């Protein structure tokens, strides 16, 4: 029986990879690549999903 139960809730938006380094194509003067670090806006770089509030009832 396959089990999908996890101990920690992983953020759905980034699937557990909250910080992504993007290469811009340019290089620093020392030859290293210039990367932009983008953090997931949903979990704000934590990688874990926030517990949803249950008080979201629209009237
Ligand atoms: Zn995320």
pLDDT of residue 54: 63
50: Cβ contacts below 8 Å, ≥ 6 apart: 42, 43
Q: Cα-flanking dihedrals φ and ψ of residue 28, to 5°?
A: -75, 175
How far, in Å, is the centroid of ligand 1 from the Cα of 37? 14
User: pLDDT band for position 32 (50/70/90)?
Assistant: very high
How far, in Å, is the centroid of ligand 1 from the Cα of 10? 8
How far, in Å, is the centroid of ligand 1 from the Cα of 7? 17
How far, in Å, is the centroid of ligand 1 from the Cα of 50? 9
pLDDT of residue 56: 57
pLDDT of residue 58: 63
How far, in Å, is the centroid of ligand 1 from the Cα of 5? 19
Name the token pair of 39. Answer: 């953090």
* Residue, of 14 and 50, whose pLDDT is higher: 14
* Residue, of 3 and 41, whose pLDDT is higher: 41
Query: What is the average pLDDT score of the chain?
Result: 83
pLDDT of residue 49: 83
């Amino acid at each position: 029986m396959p089990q999908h139960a996890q101990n920690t809730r992983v953020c759905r938006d980034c699937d557990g990879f909250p910080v992504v380094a993007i290469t811009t194509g340019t290089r620093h003067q020392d030859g290293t690549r210039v990367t932009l670090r983008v953090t997931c806006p949903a979990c704000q770089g934590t990688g874990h999903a926030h517990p949803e509030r249950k008080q979201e009832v629209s009237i």
